[in-house]
Protein backbone atom coordinates (compact mmCIF):
# COMPACT_ATOMS: atom_id res chain seq x y z
CA UNK A 1 0.00 0.00 0.00
CA UNK A 2 2.74 2.44 1.05
CA UNK A 3 4.72 1.53 -2.07
CA UNK A 4 1.66 2.16 -4.25
CA UNK A 5 1.16 5.59 -2.61
CA UNK A 6 4.85 6.43 -3.13
CA UNK A 7 4.59 5.51 -6.81
CA UNK A 8 1.45 7.65 -7.18
CA UNK A 9 3.16 10.56 -5.46
CA UNK A 10 6.16 10.27 -7.81
CA UNK A 11 3.89 10.25 -10.87
CA UNK A 12 2.17 13.39 -9.61
CA UNK A 13 5.44 15.12 -8.82
CA UNK A 14 6.77 14.31 -12.28
CA UNK A 15 3.64 15.66 -13.95
CA UNK A 16 3.53 18.94 -12.03
CA UNK A 17 7.26 19.61 -12.15
CA UNK A 18 6.80 19.89 -15.93
CA UNK A 19 4.57 22.89 -15.34
CA UNK A 20 6.32 24.60 -12.48
CA UNK A 21 9.95 25.26 -13.31
CA UNK A 22 10.69 27.03 -10.05
CA UNK A 23 9.37 24.93 -7.14
CA UNK A 24 10.42 27.43 -4.45
CA UNK A 25 8.58 30.29 -6.10
CA UNK A 26 5.58 28.00 -6.60
CA UNK A 27 5.61 27.07 -2.91
CA UNK A 28 5.89 30.69 -1.80
CA UNK A 29 3.12 32.03 -4.05
CA UNK A 30 0.83 29.07 -3.22
CA UNK A 31 1.31 29.73 0.48
CA UNK A 32 0.42 33.40 0.12
CA UNK A 33 -2.70 32.42 -1.86
CA UNK A 34 -3.72 30.04 0.94
CA UNK A 35 -3.19 32.92 3.40
CA UNK A 36 -5.50 35.10 1.30
CA UNK A 37 -8.10 32.37 1.38
CA UNK A 38 -8.18 32.52 5.18
CA UNK A 39 -7.43 36.25 5.55
CA UNK A 40 -8.82 37.99 2.43
CA UNK A 41 -7.20 41.35 3.24
CA UNK A 42 -3.73 39.80 3.05
CA UNK A 43 -2.69 39.83 -0.59
CA UNK A 44 1.07 39.42 -0.76
CA UNK A 45 1.23 38.19 -4.35
CA UNK A 46 -0.98 37.63 -7.37
CA UNK A 47 -2.34 34.19 -8.34
CA UNK A 48 -0.20 31.10 -8.95
CA UNK A 49 -1.86 30.47 -12.30
CA UNK A 50 -3.24 32.65 -15.07
CA UNK A 51 -5.11 31.50 -18.16
CA UNK A 52 -5.01 33.98 -21.04
CA UNK A 53 -7.32 33.85 -24.06
CA UNK A 54 -4.79 35.77 -26.09
CA UNK A 55 -7.14 35.90 -29.09
CA UNK A 56 -10.70 34.78 -29.70
CA UNK A 57 -9.93 34.23 -33.37
CA UNK A 58 -10.11 30.59 -34.47
CA UNK A 59 -10.19 28.52 -37.66
CA UNK A 60 -12.43 25.89 -36.03
CA UNK A 61 -16.05 25.98 -35.01
CA UNK A 62 -16.11 23.16 -32.50
CA UNK A 63 -19.42 21.67 -31.45
CA UNK A 64 -18.76 22.75 -27.87
CA UNK A 65 -17.13 26.19 -28.17
CA UNK A 66 -18.15 29.57 -29.57
CA UNK A 67 -14.84 31.42 -29.32
CA UNK A 68 -15.09 33.01 -32.79
CA UNK A 69 -18.36 34.70 -31.78
CA UNK A 70 -16.29 36.77 -29.31
CA UNK A 71 -13.68 37.81 -31.88
CA UNK A 72 -13.41 41.58 -32.47
CA UNK A 73 -10.11 42.27 -34.22
CA UNK A 74 -9.91 45.96 -33.33
CA UNK A 75 -10.65 45.41 -29.66
CA UNK A 76 -7.97 42.76 -29.05
CA UNK A 77 -4.82 43.71 -27.15
CA UNK A 78 -1.91 44.81 -29.31
CA UNK A 79 1.68 43.60 -28.88
CA UNK A 80 2.79 46.50 -26.66
CA UNK A 81 -0.22 45.99 -24.38
CA UNK A 82 0.48 42.26 -24.12
CA UNK A 83 4.11 42.89 -23.21
CA UNK A 84 3.08 45.39 -20.55
CA UNK A 85 0.67 42.79 -19.12
CA UNK A 86 3.41 40.15 -19.03
CA UNK A 87 5.63 42.49 -16.99
CA UNK A 88 2.80 43.21 -14.57
CA UNK A 89 1.80 39.60 -13.99
CA UNK A 90 5.46 38.59 -13.66
CA UNK A 91 5.85 41.17 -10.90
CA UNK A 92 2.76 39.80 -9.16
CA UNK A 93 4.47 36.39 -8.90
CA UNK A 94 2.51 34.25 -11.36
CA UNK A 95 4.24 30.88 -11.83
CA UNK A 96 2.32 29.32 -14.71
CA UNK A 97 0.71 31.02 -17.68
CA UNK A 98 -1.56 29.00 -19.95
CA UNK A 99 -1.87 30.69 -23.29
CA UNK A 100 -5.15 29.71 -24.85
CA UNK A 101 -7.78 31.20 -27.11
CA UNK A 102 -9.29 31.04 -29.65
CA UNK A 103 -6.30 29.64 -31.43
CA UNK A 104 -3.18 31.30 -29.99
CA UNK A 105 -0.95 30.25 -32.92
CA UNK A 106 -2.99 32.59 -35.13
CA UNK A 107 -1.34 35.58 -33.43
CA UNK A 108 1.73 36.65 -35.37
CA UNK A 109 3.28 38.30 -32.32
CA UNK A 110 2.80 35.27 -30.07
CA UNK A 111 6.49 34.39 -29.81
CA UNK A 112 7.43 37.99 -28.97
CA UNK A 113 4.97 37.89 -26.07
CA UNK A 114 6.21 34.50 -24.91
CA UNK A 115 9.84 35.67 -25.09
CA UNK A 116 8.95 38.43 -22.64
CA UNK A 117 7.35 35.94 -20.24
CA UNK A 118 10.37 33.65 -20.43
CA UNK A 119 12.64 36.57 -19.45
CA UNK A 120 10.83 36.53 -16.10
CA UNK A 121 10.97 32.75 -15.66
CA UNK A 122 7.23 32.19 -16.08
CA UNK A 123 6.37 28.62 -17.14
CA UNK A 124 4.34 28.58 -20.33
CA UNK A 125 1.68 26.10 -21.34
CA UNK A 126 0.44 26.65 -24.89
CA UNK A 127 -3.01 25.20 -25.62
CA UNK A 128 -3.62 24.68 -29.33
CA UNK A 129 -5.88 22.85 -31.74
CA UNK A 130 -2.71 21.89 -33.62
CA UNK A 131 -3.69 23.27 -37.04
CA UNK A 132 -0.52 25.38 -37.29
CA UNK A 133 1.68 23.18 -35.12
CA UNK A 134 3.85 21.73 -37.87
CA UNK A 135 4.38 25.15 -39.45
CA UNK A 136 5.38 26.73 -36.12
CA UNK A 137 7.23 23.79 -34.51
CA UNK A 138 10.72 25.30 -34.80
CA UNK A 139 9.58 28.61 -33.34
CA UNK A 140 7.84 26.81 -30.49
CA UNK A 141 11.05 25.01 -29.61
CA UNK A 142 13.15 28.16 -29.91
CA UNK A 143 10.75 30.10 -27.70
CA UNK A 144 11.35 27.83 -24.69
CA UNK A 145 7.65 27.04 -24.22
CA UNK A 146 7.52 24.46 -21.43
CA UNK A 147 4.40 22.52 -22.41
CA UNK A 148 2.35 22.27 -25.57
CA UNK A 149 -1.14 20.94 -24.96
CA UNK A 150 -2.80 19.76 -28.16
CA UNK A 151 -6.56 19.23 -28.17
CA UNK A 152 -7.61 16.01 -29.86
CA UNK A 153 -11.01 14.56 -29.12
CA UNK A 154 -11.24 11.34 -31.03
CA UNK A 155 -9.31 8.27 -31.98
CA UNK A 156 -10.83 8.65 -35.42
CA UNK A 157 -9.66 11.31 -37.86
CA UNK A 158 -13.08 11.87 -39.45
CA UNK A 159 -14.88 12.16 -36.14
CA UNK A 160 -12.37 14.67 -34.76
CA UNK A 161 -12.50 16.89 -37.84
CA UNK A 162 -16.29 16.78 -37.82
CA UNK A 163 -16.50 17.67 -34.12
CA UNK A 164 -14.20 20.63 -34.69
CA UNK A 165 -15.68 21.59 -38.09
CA UNK A 166 -12.21 21.68 -39.56
CA UNK A 167 -11.25 19.27 -42.37
CA UNK A 168 -7.68 17.99 -42.14
CA UNK A 169 -7.22 19.08 -38.50
CA UNK A 170 -6.45 15.64 -37.05
CA UNK A 171 -3.72 14.97 -39.62
CA UNK A 172 -2.20 18.42 -39.13
CA UNK A 173 -2.18 18.13 -35.33
CA UNK A 174 -0.61 14.67 -35.52
CA UNK A 175 2.08 15.83 -37.95
CA UNK A 176 2.78 18.81 -35.71
CA UNK A 177 3.27 16.57 -32.69
CA UNK A 178 5.59 14.30 -34.69
CA UNK A 179 7.63 17.27 -35.85
CA UNK A 180 8.03 18.53 -32.28
CA UNK A 181 9.11 15.06 -31.22
CA UNK A 182 11.58 14.70 -34.08
CA UNK A 183 13.45 17.83 -33.13
CA UNK A 184 15.53 16.40 -30.33
CA UNK A 185 15.24 18.67 -27.31
CA UNK A 186 13.94 18.04 -23.82
CA UNK A 187 11.30 20.75 -24.23
CA UNK A 188 8.46 21.24 -24.74
CA UNK A 189 6.58 18.47 -22.99
CA UNK A 190 3.75 17.39 -25.22
CA UNK A 191 0.31 16.68 -23.85
CA UNK A 192 -2.76 15.59 -25.78
CA UNK A 193 -5.98 16.66 -24.10
CA UNK A 194 -9.41 15.38 -24.94
CA UNK A 195 -12.91 16.69 -24.21
CA UNK A 196 -14.72 13.65 -22.83
CA UNK A 197 -18.23 13.44 -24.31
CA UNK A 198 -20.94 10.97 -25.16
CA UNK A 199 -19.46 10.20 -28.58
CA UNK A 200 -15.90 9.40 -27.54
CA UNK A 201 -16.03 7.83 -24.08
CA UNK A 202 -16.24 4.25 -25.32
CA UNK A 203 -12.91 4.60 -27.12
CA UNK A 204 -11.01 6.42 -24.39
CA UNK A 205 -8.99 3.35 -23.43
CA UNK A 206 -7.78 2.88 -27.00
CA UNK A 207 -7.25 6.63 -27.38
CA UNK A 208 -4.99 6.83 -24.31
CA UNK A 209 -3.06 3.76 -25.48
CA UNK A 210 -2.62 5.23 -28.98
CA UNK A 211 -0.99 8.40 -27.64
CA UNK A 212 0.87 6.74 -24.77
CA UNK A 213 2.51 4.42 -27.31
CA UNK A 214 3.74 7.56 -29.04
CA UNK A 215 5.20 8.77 -25.71
CA UNK A 216 2.64 11.54 -25.35
CA UNK A 217 0.90 12.23 -22.02
CA UNK A 218 -2.89 12.33 -22.19
CA UNK A 219 -5.12 14.49 -20.01
CA UNK A 220 -8.89 14.68 -20.10
CA UNK A 221 -11.52 17.29 -19.47
CA UNK A 222 -15.24 16.67 -19.25
CA UNK A 223 -17.53 18.39 -21.72
CA UNK A 224 -19.45 21.15 -20.00
CA UNK A 225 -21.27 24.42 -20.31
CA UNK A 226 -21.73 26.66 -17.31
CA UNK A 227 -22.15 30.43 -17.53
CA UNK A 228 -23.57 31.90 -20.75
CA UNK A 229 -20.85 34.57 -20.51
CA UNK A 230 -18.06 32.15 -21.44
CA UNK A 231 -16.94 30.73 -24.78
CA UNK A 232 -17.85 27.19 -23.70
CA UNK A 233 -21.13 26.33 -25.34
CA UNK A 234 -22.30 22.87 -26.29
CA UNK A 235 -24.08 23.40 -29.60
CA UNK A 236 -24.50 19.72 -30.37
CA UNK A 237 -26.62 18.34 -27.53
CA UNK A 238 -25.90 14.75 -28.66
CA UNK A 239 -22.49 15.15 -27.02
CA UNK A 240 -24.03 15.58 -23.58
CA UNK A 241 -24.68 12.69 -21.24
CA UNK A 242 -28.14 11.75 -20.01
CA UNK A 243 -28.72 10.21 -16.57
CA UNK A 244 -29.44 6.94 -18.35
CA UNK A 245 -25.81 6.84 -19.63
CA UNK A 246 -24.40 6.53 -16.13
CA UNK A 247 -24.01 2.74 -15.98
CA UNK A 248 -22.34 2.46 -19.36
CA UNK A 249 -20.07 5.42 -18.79
CA UNK A 250 -19.11 4.21 -15.33
CA UNK A 251 -18.27 0.77 -16.67
CA UNK A 252 -15.96 2.12 -19.40
CA UNK A 253 -14.45 4.79 -17.24
CA UNK A 254 -13.61 2.48 -14.33
CA UNK A 255 -11.66 0.30 -16.78
CA UNK A 256 -9.68 3.38 -17.80
CA UNK A 257 -8.98 4.36 -14.19
CA UNK A 258 -7.84 0.85 -13.43
CA UNK A 259 -5.45 0.74 -16.36
CA UNK A 260 -3.96 4.22 -16.01
CA UNK A 261 -3.05 5.15 -12.40
CA UNK A 262 -2.35 8.73 -13.51
CA UNK A 263 -6.09 9.33 -13.87
CA UNK A 264 -6.81 7.71 -10.50
CA UNK A 265 -4.81 10.26 -8.56
CA UNK A 266 -5.91 13.44 -10.27
CA UNK A 267 -9.08 15.40 -10.86
CA UNK A 268 -10.01 12.98 -13.65
CA UNK A 269 -11.00 10.53 -10.93
CA UNK A 270 -14.14 12.59 -10.31
CA UNK A 271 -15.60 12.63 -13.83
CA UNK A 272 -18.36 10.10 -13.08
CA UNK A 273 -19.56 12.20 -10.16
CA UNK A 274 -19.17 15.41 -12.14
CA UNK A 275 -21.41 14.11 -14.92
CA UNK A 276 -23.96 12.16 -12.93
CA UNK A 277 -24.03 13.37 -9.33
CA UNK A 278 -23.57 17.14 -9.61
CA UNK A 279 -25.40 18.03 -6.38
CA UNK A 280 -23.21 15.96 -4.11
CA UNK A 281 -20.16 16.83 -6.15
CA UNK A 282 -20.70 20.57 -5.67
CA UNK A 283 -20.95 20.10 -1.92
CA UNK A 284 -17.72 18.11 -1.86
CA UNK A 285 -15.39 20.63 -3.54
CA UNK A 286 -14.64 24.30 -2.98
CA UNK A 287 -13.73 26.65 -5.78
CA UNK A 288 -10.54 28.70 -5.49
CA UNK A 289 -10.98 30.89 -8.59
CA UNK A 290 -9.94 34.45 -7.80
CA UNK A 291 -7.56 33.19 -5.10
CA UNK A 292 -5.22 30.83 -6.95
CA UNK A 293 -6.18 31.59 -10.48
CA UNK A 294 -7.18 34.43 -12.78
CA UNK A 295 -8.22 34.61 -16.38
CA UNK A 296 -7.45 37.38 -18.85
CA UNK A 297 -9.40 37.71 -22.09
CA UNK A 298 -8.26 38.92 -25.50
CA UNK A 299 -9.42 42.47 -24.69
CA UNK A 300 -7.50 42.69 -21.40
CA UNK A 301 -10.41 42.07 -19.03
CA UNK A 302 -9.50 40.22 -15.84
CA UNK A 303 -11.78 37.54 -14.39
CA UNK A 304 -11.46 34.95 -11.63
CA UNK A 305 -11.90 32.03 -14.05
CA UNK A 306 -12.48 31.00 -17.68
CA UNK A 307 -16.23 31.26 -17.24
CA UNK A 308 -15.89 35.10 -17.29
CA UNK A 309 -18.57 35.27 -14.61
CA UNK A 310 -17.39 38.55 -13.10
CA UNK A 311 -15.02 41.13 -14.51
CA UNK A 312 -12.60 42.58 -11.93
CA UNK A 313 -11.32 45.33 -14.26
CA UNK A 314 -9.54 45.92 -17.54
CA UNK A 315 -5.78 45.96 -18.11
CA UNK A 316 -6.25 48.57 -20.81
CA UNK A 317 -7.00 51.03 -18.01
CA UNK A 318 -5.49 49.65 -14.79
CA UNK A 319 -2.53 47.59 -13.65
CA UNK A 320 -2.90 43.91 -12.80
CA UNK A 321 -1.88 44.62 -9.22
CA UNK A 322 -4.62 47.22 -8.75
CA UNK A 323 -7.23 44.97 -10.31
CA UNK A 324 -6.19 41.98 -8.21
CA UNK A 325 -6.35 44.14 -5.06
CA UNK A 326 -9.58 45.93 -6.04
CA UNK A 327 -12.73 46.00 -3.92
CA UNK A 328 -14.52 44.10 -6.71
CA UNK A 329 -12.06 41.22 -6.48
CA UNK A 330 -12.23 41.29 -2.68
CA UNK A 331 -16.05 41.16 -2.73
CA UNK A 332 -15.98 38.28 -5.21
CA UNK A 333 -13.58 36.26 -3.04
CA UNK A 334 -15.71 36.84 0.05
CA UNK A 335 -18.89 35.84 -1.75
CA UNK A 336 -17.32 32.73 -3.29
CA UNK A 337 -15.88 31.59 0.02
CA UNK A 338 -19.10 32.18 1.96
CA UNK A 339 -21.74 31.07 -0.52
CA UNK A 340 -19.93 29.09 -3.21
CA UNK A 341 -20.82 29.53 -6.88
CA UNK A 342 -24.00 28.74 -8.77
CA UNK A 343 -21.89 26.78 -11.29
CA UNK A 344 -19.37 24.10 -10.74
CA UNK A 345 -16.73 23.92 -13.41
CA UNK A 346 -14.37 21.02 -13.78
CA UNK A 347 -12.01 22.15 -16.52
CA UNK A 348 -8.40 21.02 -16.37
CA UNK A 349 -7.33 24.28 -14.66
CA UNK A 350 -10.23 24.80 -12.25
CA UNK A 351 -10.71 21.09 -11.59
CA UNK A 352 -7.06 20.44 -10.79
CA UNK A 353 -6.77 23.42 -8.44
CA UNK A 354 -10.09 22.69 -6.73
CA UNK A 355 -9.39 18.97 -6.37
CA UNK A 356 -5.97 19.23 -4.75
CA UNK A 357 -6.68 22.29 -2.62
CA UNK A 358 -9.96 21.02 -1.21
CA UNK A 359 -8.18 17.82 -0.22
CA UNK A 360 -5.22 19.74 1.19
CA UNK A 361 -7.38 22.09 3.26
CA UNK A 362 -9.15 19.09 4.77
CA UNK A 363 -5.77 18.06 6.20
CA UNK A 364 -5.03 21.49 7.72
C1 LIG B 1 -11.11 27.03 -25.78
S2 LIG B 1 -9.80 26.01 -26.28
C3 LIG B 1 -8.58 27.17 -26.85
C4 LIG B 1 -7.30 26.57 -27.35
C5 LIG B 1 -7.34 25.87 -28.68
N6 LIG B 1 -8.12 26.52 -29.64
C7 LIG B 1 -7.77 24.43 -28.51
O8 LIG B 1 -8.86 24.07 -28.93
O9 LIG B 1 -6.98 23.68 -27.93
C10 LIG B 1 -9.11 25.43 -24.72
C11 LIG B 1 -9.53 24.04 -24.33
O12 LIG B 1 -10.90 24.04 -23.99
C13 LIG B 1 -11.47 22.83 -24.49
N14 LIG B 1 -12.92 23.04 -24.58
C15 LIG B 1 -13.57 23.79 -25.46
N16 LIG B 1 -14.91 23.77 -25.23
C17 LIG B 1 -15.10 22.98 -24.14
C18 LIG B 1 -16.26 22.57 -23.41
N19 LIG B 1 -17.49 22.99 -23.73
N20 LIG B 1 -16.08 21.75 -22.34
C21 LIG B 1 -14.84 21.35 -21.99
N22 LIG B 1 -13.72 21.70 -22.64
C23 LIG B 1 -13.84 22.51 -23.71
C24 LIG B 1 -10.75 22.64 -25.80
O25 LIG B 1 -10.85 21.33 -26.28
C26 LIG B 1 -9.33 23.01 -25.41
O27 LIG B 1 -8.63 21.90 -24.90
S1 LIG C 1 -12.16 24.73 -28.71
FE2 LIG C 1 -10.35 25.75 -29.53
S3 LIG C 1 -10.36 25.07 -31.65
FE4 LIG C 1 -12.40 24.73 -30.93
S5 LIG C 1 -13.55 26.59 -31.48
FE6 LIG C 1 -12.83 26.77 -29.37
S7 LIG C 1 -10.98 27.90 -29.55
FE8 LIG C 1 -11.39 27.06 -31.57
S1 LIG D 1 -17.34 27.38 -10.02
FE2 LIG D 1 -15.45 28.56 -9.83
S3 LIG D 1 -14.48 28.36 -11.83
FE4 LIG D 1 -16.67 27.85 -12.11
S5 LIG D 1 -17.72 29.73 -12.63
FE6 LIG D 1 -17.82 29.51 -10.44
S7 LIG D 1 -16.07 30.66 -9.69
FE8 LIG D 1 -15.70 30.25 -11.84
Ligand nearest to the CA of 150: 1
Please report the pLDDT score of residue 187 as a whole number: 82
Ligand nearest to the CA of 358: 3
Residues framing ligand 1 (Cβ under 6 A): 58, 64-65, 67, 100-101, 103, 127-129, 151, 193, 195, 221, 223-225, 231-232, 234
Please report the pLDDT score of residue 184 as a whole number: 75
Please report the pLDDT score of residue 11 as a whole number: 65
Closest atom of ligand 3 to CA, residue 290:
7
Q: What is the DSSP string of 223-244?
A: -----TTSSB----GGGS--GG
Q: What is the pLDDT along the chain (364 residues), one digit of tens a residue?
A: 666 666 666 666 666 666 667 888 999 999 999 999 999 989 999 999 999 999 999 999 999 999 999 999 999 999 999 999 999 999 999 999 999 999 999 999 999 999 999 999 999 999 999 999 999 999 999 999 999 999 999 999 999 999 999 999 999 999 999 999 999 778 899 999 999 999 999 999 999 999 999 999 999 999 999 999 999 999 999 999 999 999 999 999 999 999 998 898 889 999 999 999 988 888 899 999 999 999 999 999 999 999 999 999 999 999 999 999 999 999 999 999 999 999 989 999 999 999 999 988 888 7
CA of 62 to the centre of ligand 2 (A): 6
DSSP 8-state symbol, 11: H
Please report the pLDDT score of residue 321 as a whole number: 98
Ligand 1 pocket check: which of 101, 195, 351 to mutate, most ligand atoms within 8 Å of Cβ?
A: 195
Q: Is residue 219 a contact partner of residue 19, using CB atoms and an 8 Å limit?
A: no
Atom 7 of ligand 2 has which residue's CA nearest to it? 102
* Long-range contacts of the stretch 29-36 (C-beta < 8 A, 24+): 29/93, 29/94, 29/95, 30/292, 32/93, 33/288, 33/291, 33/292, 34/357, 34/361, 36/291, 36/333
Atom 13 of ligand 1 has which residue's CA nearest to it? 195
Please report the pLDDT score of residue 242 as a whole number: 97
Amino acid sequence: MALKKMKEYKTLQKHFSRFFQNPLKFLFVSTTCILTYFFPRILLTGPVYIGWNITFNCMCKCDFCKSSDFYKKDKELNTAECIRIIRQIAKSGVCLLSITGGEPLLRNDLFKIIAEAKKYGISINLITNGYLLEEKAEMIIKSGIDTVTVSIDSLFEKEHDLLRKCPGLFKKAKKGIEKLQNIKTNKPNIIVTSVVNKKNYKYLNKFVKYWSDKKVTVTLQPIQENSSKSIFKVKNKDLLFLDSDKTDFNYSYQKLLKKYPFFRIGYEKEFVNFFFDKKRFRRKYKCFAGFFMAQIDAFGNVYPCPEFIECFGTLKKESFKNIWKSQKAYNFRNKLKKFGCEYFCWYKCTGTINYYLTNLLKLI
